């Protein structure tokens, strides 16, 4: 009688270049600065980028021409968000559809920063744009999505395909431990109660204290602008049945700015998922300086840094802004030396390798809780 030894399942990262055949990697972005992440991923996997032409015609229409066979292959389309976000989306959709009509076996989108992710809730008479975008991607032919640090994890439910929402926090935590001297004297700061969970996650992993800034002006994501909380106007009260007395919500008032937690004589590390409009970060930095913090860092996954953000950061009390390369920001770094970049191509490469080889993705989500 033959004895069969149990099969060992190795969940540790393997050699990046150990991929099966039939793998094609495309970059869908016509902006040269946005293709750098794709080149890094392809280099780690030991493959060359697929041949494709993506360009804008004179009438601003997007044209995609795939120049090699993708029949029966796993196609990974890496798309980073450029300044022209709508063109970026069209490039992705057209390339996905082109691969679908060219009989690709699987079409996996690698979109480190999911655009329109802040528009994931109903705003009065607006729309849930991220749901619309998810439907468009699925309709075009996407069979799987790899993304990173969605603004709201519930966005995964907008898709009817598998979604892997990777985390950049291990890379940012490593940066704190290796690049910030005396980080043991630091405190993790949430610039608003909305980001307290993220700050708590960082603080618990680094065994540091936490502080929360409360009393800022309400942002666009407050419940006050949700259409379901809108009371009827006074002139329409007469239309309500006389026997009904609907209680109205008491309007919110902005309390004085307070810092819950001790930051005096410490390094303050503000953490968030996106840094775009920097006004709230600058206000938080000024508040922390007034409370005695002697050095201020800002850590975020996605550095959009639009408009005059680099100049404002350079002139502010912030000592350093650390973001990942989910979004290209080389121009902003030239304008502001305080901006530093953490490379996350390693985890994206490993995710691509595991999906292509049919391996478990659980290793990439180890020690990640429900609130992370």
Secondary structure of the chain as H, E, C letters = CCCCCCCCCCCCCCCCCCCCCCEEEEECCCCHHHHHHHHHHHHHHCCCCCCEEEEECCCCCEEEEECCCCCCCEEEEECCCCCCHHHHHHHHHHHHHHHHHCCCCEEEEEECCCCCCCCCCCCCCCCCHHHHHHHHHHHHCCCEEEEECCCCHHHHHHCCCCEEEECCHHHHHHHHHHHCCCHHHEEEEECCHHHHHHHHHHHHHHCCEEEEEECCCCCCCCHHHCHHHCCCCHHHHHHCCCCCCCCCCCCCCCCCCEEECCCCCCEEEEEEEEECCCHHHHHHHHHHHHCCCCEEEEEEEEECCCCCHHHHHHCCCCCEEEEECCCCCHHHHHHCCCEEEECCHHHHHHHHHHHHHCCCCHHHHCCCCCCC
Which of these, 334, 317, 252, 225, lies nearest to 278 by C-alpha position? 317
**One domain for residues 330 and 191:** yes
Residues 6+ apart with CB under 8 A from 276: 304, 305, 306, 309
pLDDT of residue 4: 42
pTM for the model stands at 0.86
Domain boundary among 143, 166, 189: 166
Find where tokens 């935590």 sit: 173
The reply to whether 132 and 149 lie within a common domain is yes
Are 322 and 176 part of one and the same domain? Answer: yes
Quote the CA–CA distance of 224 and 231 in Å, as a whole number: 10
Residue 236 has a pLDDT of 52
Residue 267 · residue 295 · CB < 8 Å: yes
Any domain includes 141: yes
Q: Is residue 34 part of a domain?
A: yes
Domain-located, residue 224: no
Q: Are residues 154 and 179 in the same domain?
A: no
Determine phi and psi for 303, rounding to 5 degrees: -100, 85
Closest to 295 measured CA to CA, from 323, 277, 257, 322: 322
Residues 191 and 161 in one domain: no
Q: Is 305 found in the same domain as 185? A: yes
Whether the Cβ atoms of residue 111 and residue 92 lie closer than 8 Å to each other: yes
What is the C-alpha separation between 13 and 20, in angstroms, rounded? 15
Q: How many CA atoms lie within 13 A of 307 on its CB side?
A: 8
Q: Are residues 190 and 142 in the same domain?
A: no
**329: CB partners within 8 A, 6+ apart:** 303, 305, 323, 339, 341
Residues 53 and 75 in one domain: yes
CA dist., res. 143 & res. 137, Å (int) = 9
Asked whether residue 359 is domain-assigned, the answer is no
Nearest alpha-carbon partner for 276 in 259, 256, 301: 301
251 domain-assigned? no
pLDDT score, position 224: 46
pLDDT at 253: 78
Number of structural domains in the chain = 2
CATH no. for residue 302?
3.40.50.2020
Give yes or no for a contact between 162 and 243, defined as CB atoms under 8 angstroms apart: no
Which tokens belong to 41? 């991923």
Please indicate, yes or no, if residue 15 is contained in any of the structural domains. no
pLDDT given for residue 7 in this prediction:
40
pLDDT in tens, the chain (372 residues): 444 444 443 445 555 555 666 999 999 887 777 789 999 999 999 999 999 999 999 999 999 999 999 999 999 999 998 888 999 999 999 999 999 999 999 999 999 999 999 999 888 888 999 999 999 999 999 999 999 999 999 999 999 999 999 999 999 999 999 999 999 999 999 999 989 999 999 999 999 999 999 885 445 455 445 555 555 555 554 555 666 778 888 887 778 888 999 999 999 999 999 999 899 999 999 999 999 999 999 999 999 998 899 999 999 999 999 999 999 998 999 999 999 999 999 999 999 999 999 999 999 988 877 666
Q: Are residues 142 and 291 in the same domain?
A: no
Q: Is residue 97 part of a domain?
A: yes
**Domain-located, residue 306:** yes
CB 141 within 8 A of CB 96: yes
202 and 291 fall within a common domain: yes
Based on the fold, state whether residues 293 and 319 are members of the same structural domain: yes
Same domain for 121 and 210, yes or no, is no
Residue 204's domain comprises 170-215+257-342
């Amino acid at each position: 009688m033959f004895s069969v030894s149990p099969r060992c399942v190795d969940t540790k990262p393997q050699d990046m270049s150990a991929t099966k055949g039939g793998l094609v990697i495309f970059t869908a972005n016509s902006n040269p600065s946005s293709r750098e992440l794709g080149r890094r991923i392809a280099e780690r996997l030991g493959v060359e980028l697929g041949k494709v032409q993506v360009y804008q015609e004179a009438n601003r229409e997007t044209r995609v021409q795939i120049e090699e066979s993708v029949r029966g292959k796993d196609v990974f389309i890496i798309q980073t968000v450029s300044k022209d976000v709508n063109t970026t989306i069209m490039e992705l959709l057209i390339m996905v559809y082109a691969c679908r009509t060219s009989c690709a076996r699987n079409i996996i989108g690698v979109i480190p920063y999911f655009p329109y992710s802040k528009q994931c809730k109903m705003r009065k008479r607006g729309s849930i744009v991220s749901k619309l975008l998810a439907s468009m991607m699925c309709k075009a032919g996407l069979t799987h999505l790899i993304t990173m640090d969605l603004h709201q994890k519930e966005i995964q439910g907008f898709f009817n395909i598998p979604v892997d929402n990777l985390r950049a926090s291990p890379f940012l935590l490593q940066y704190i431990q290796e690049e910030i001297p005396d980080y043991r004297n630091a405190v993790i700061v949430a610039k608003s109660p909305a980001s307290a969970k993220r700050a708590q996650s960082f603080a618990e992993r680094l065994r540091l204290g936490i502080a929360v800034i409360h009393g800022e002006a309400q942002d666009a994501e407050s419940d006050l602008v949700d259409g379901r909380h809108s009371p009827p106007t006074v002139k329409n009260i007469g239309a309500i049945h006389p026997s009904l007395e609907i209680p109205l919500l008491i309007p919110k008032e902005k309390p004085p700015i307070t810092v819950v937690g001790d930051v005096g004589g410490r390094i303050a590390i503000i953490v968030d998922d996106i840094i775009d409009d920097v006004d709230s970060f600058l206000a938080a930095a000024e508040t922390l300086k007034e409370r005695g913090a002697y050095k201020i860092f800002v850590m975020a996954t996605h550095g959009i840094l639009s408009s005059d953000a680099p100049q404002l950061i350079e002139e502010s009390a912030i000592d350093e802004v650390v973001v990942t390369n989910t979004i290209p920001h080389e121009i902003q770094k030239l304008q502001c030396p305080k901006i530093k970049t953490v490379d996350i191509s390693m985890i994206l490469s490993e995710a691509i390798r595991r999906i292509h080889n049919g391996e478990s993705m659980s290793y990439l989500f180890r020690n990640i809780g429900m609130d992370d």
